[in-house]
Structure 1
Amino acid sequence: MLIAQLTDLHVGAGRRLAYRKVDTARALENAVAHVEAMMPRPDVVLFTGDIGDLGTPDEYALVAEILKSLTIPYFMVPGNHDRRGPLRAAFADATPVAPGRDFVNYVVDDFDLRLIALDTLDEGKPGGVLQAEQLKWLRSVLADGDQKPSVIFMHHPPIVTGIAHMDAQKLETGADELAAIVSDHRDKVQAVLCGHVHRPIHTIWAGVPLIIGPSVAHQVALDLREDGPSAFVMEPPAMHLYVWDTDQKSLMTHLAYIDRFDGPHPFFGADGKLIV
């Protein structure tokens, strides 16, 4: 089984350039074309949040138009730049939430791996939250008797990466409880897949691999200083491809670069200073 992870699209309405530099709509088109051309083709694509940049219906309409070229099944969770209502309205099939539920939490059982979506959005705020009812839901899903190996995918990582301005907006509320649940079911949970940080990062957390995917549009600067400012850079756009070996019960991660790259380009940090 092959899983493609595309994350942090930040598509703006009217093809607005992010930071007046990055054509995020074009970046998504390139990513979709890359996935479609893969041999063998992925079985499913997971979008781990920040589908739009402001969470407006116009943004999601543009994303939906671009995704018409994607012939592979895909599923989504919201990021901090998204809004649940407009996202679910635009992508009902990709957010198959049970009737009556407010959060974009759901399970996909159509593949060799069980895909468990977790909604970490705290609307209007950059950091992530998992409410008590969501954690109760996750525990019930993992304890429901289904022995199929599972992958959890969500936007905010529950870890400290060392990139200070991103760590200030990680998953805070519910992170310890999530770690306890995952640890209790680490024989079943094969990995936790996240976005948000715009960099490829791998670690072991709660006894399982925790993997953060790179943005298909632009990257966060790799700055591990404690006072490192908020800064974005243009590095080669990329995605993660996960290979699940059913016989060996192992999940392998490949970093795949998307299209050609004409950078690097300078970027300005939050302090207005040029980052070379």
Structure 2
Amino acid sequence: MQAGVPTAVGLHSAAAGATTAQDFSFLQISDTHVGFDKPANPDSLGTLREAVARIATLPVKPAFVVHTGDVSHLSKDAEFDLASQVLGEIGLPIFFIPGDHDFIDEGQDKAYLSRFGKGTKSNGWFSFEQNGIHFVGLNNVADLKAGGLGNLGDEQLAWLEGDLAGLSSSTPVVVLGHIPLWTVNEAGGRGTSDAAQALAALCRFGSVTVLNGRIHQVMTEVEGNIAFHTARSTAFPQPKPGKAPAPGPLKVPAEELRKYLGIATVELHRGDDRLPSSRSVSWPPSPPRRRR
């Protein structure tokens, strides 16, 4: 870990030994949508199992895994239980934040929180320290706004400000949230309505990395000292934001599906003062698309 600044290596590179024992790394997995079986990927559980199998081949294990939401497709008990079983095969600690597909059960989040929300605040937010980095997990799916925009709400924003208040501005911060904290596409619900208040609390820190899911593809935005990264899904691709009448599963030729799916491995190197970067790697690996 270099000055606590995250960089990234793809799962394929990590499996080839790019990560050393001196590096601190963690894995991001997102939008597993366990239970999805539509034409865009009739075997989403199978592609998740492929991802888990690849993680098992890493020569140096990440410290932990973060799941940035949409564990399930329809918030069903059976989906959550199957997700727990398959993800448990990774054999590493996993920190979960909810996606909008995880909060549509009749209990309005009870199925998710009873399994993945233990020890979190309110409806699923939390923070922890690892190797000198402060990690924050946010829930911006519990109160969606018009068009499906995410929302944090006053209670969570007040908690976030208090959580960050005692930290030195030199502390590296990694923020997890399902819906992007920058507006990728407002009409398609690819943004968070009150993100500006959260970012105002984060802007004093020298290195902030925000990891999101939701849009099922790699996009990157850098605003000052804050770098935003979205991740691919392990289940199915979606159209580029704003390039289709509505968000949703994108069917591609079966032989091309895996190049649209992936996982990201984030490394933290000592002595590196660059802004964080991140990429997701598919099967087979393909270069990420960057958005500026």
Q: Structure 1 residues 247 and 85, CA, compared in 2 at 3 Å: closer, same or farther?
A: farther
User: How far 1:17 moved relative to its partner?
Assistant: 1.0
Distance, in Å, in 1 between the alignment partners of 2:89 and 2:33 is 18
Secondary structure (helix, strand or coil) at the match of 2:100 reads coil
Contiguous gaps of at least 5 residues in structure 1: 262-276
Deviation at 1:229, TM superposition (A): 4.2
1:138, CA displacement in angstroms?
Answer: 0.9
Q: Shift of residue 243 of structure 1?
A: 1.2
% identical equivalent positions: 20
Pair 1:243 & 2:267 matched: yes
User: For residue 265 of structure 1, what is the aligned residue in structure 2?
Assistant: none
Aligned partner of 1:137 in structure 2 is 159
1:169 and 2:183 correspond: no
Deviation (angstroms), 1:96: 2.9
1:202 is matched with: 220
- Greater alpha carbon shift after TM alignment, 32-41 vs 51-60: 32-41
Q: TM-score, normalised by structure 2?
A: 0.75
Q: TM-score, normalised by structure 1?
A: 0.79
Range with greater deviation from structure 2 (26-35 or 251-260): 251-260
Number of equivalenced pairs: 247
Q: CA deviation at 1:246?
A: 3.3
Q: Give the aligned partner of residue 282 of structure 2.
A: 257
Letter in 2 for 1:201: M
Q: Secondary structure at the match of 1:4?
A: strand
Q: What displacement does 1:219 show? A: 1.0
The alpha carbon displacement at 1:252 in A equals 4.0
Of the candidates 71, 91, 110, which is equivalent to residue 85 of structure 1?
110
The answer as to 2:174 corresponding to 1:155 is no
Residue aligned with 1:133, SS: helix
Aligned match of 1:9 = 32
Letter in 2 for 1:121: V
Could you say which residue in structure 2 is the equivalent of 1:179? 199
Unaligned runs of 5+ in 2: 1-23, 104-108, 287-292
After superposition, give the CA deviation of every residue in 1:20-73 in whole Å (9 maximum; x if it has no partner).
743121121111111121222211111000000111211110101112311111
Separation in structure 1 between the aligned mates of residue 190 and residue 149 of structure 2, nearest angstrom = 5
Stretch moving more, 36-45 or 129-138: 36-45
8 Å CA contact 2:188–2:247 kept in 1: the answer is no
